[in-house]
Amino acid sequence: MARRKFVCGNWKMNMTIDEAKALVEGIKPKVAGLEADVAVAPPFTALHAVAEVLGGSSIRLAAQNCHFETKGAFTGEVAPTMLRDACCSLVILGHSERRTLFKETDETVGKKVGAALDAGLQPILCVGETLEERDGGQTLAVVSRQLKAGLAAAGADRALRMVIAYEPVWAIGTGRTATPEQAQEVHAHLRRDLEAMYGSAISDELRIQYGGSMKPSNAAELLAMPDIDGGLIGGASLKPDDFAAIVTAAAS
172, 208, 244, 245: residue in contact with ligand PGA (rule CB under 6 A) = 172
Binding segment toward ligand PGA, per CB under 6 A, in 44-52, 141-149, 195-203, 205-213: 205-213
94, 168, 211, 230: residue in contact with ligand PGA (rule CB under 6 A) = 211
With binding defined as CB under 6 A, does residue 173 bind ligand PGA? yes
Nearest C-alpha neighbor of 125 from the set 137, 138, 136, 109: 109
Which neighbouring-strand residues pair with 9?
40, 233
Q: Is 19 a catalytic residue?
A: no
Amino acid found at 149: A
Cβ 167 to ligand PGA, closest distance in Å? 6
Q: Is 234:211 a contact under the CB 8 Å cutoff?
A: yes
Q: Is 107 a catalytic residue?
A: no
Residues 6+ apart with CB under 8 A from 52: none
Q: Please give the residues from 213 up to 242 whose contact with ligand PGA meets the rule CB under 6 A.
A: 213-214, 232-236
DSSP 154-186: T-GGGGGG-EEEE--GGGTTTS-PPPHHHHHHH
Binding segment toward ligand PGA, per CB under 6 A, in 81-89, 152-160, 208-216, 220-228: 208-216
Cβ 112 to ligand PGA, closest distance in Å? 17
Q: Is 9:239 a contact under the CB 8 Å cutoff?
A: no
Would you please indicate which residues are annotated as catalytic (active-site) residues? 95, 167
> Which residues contact ligand PGA by CB under 6 A?
10, 167, 172-173, 211-214, 232-236
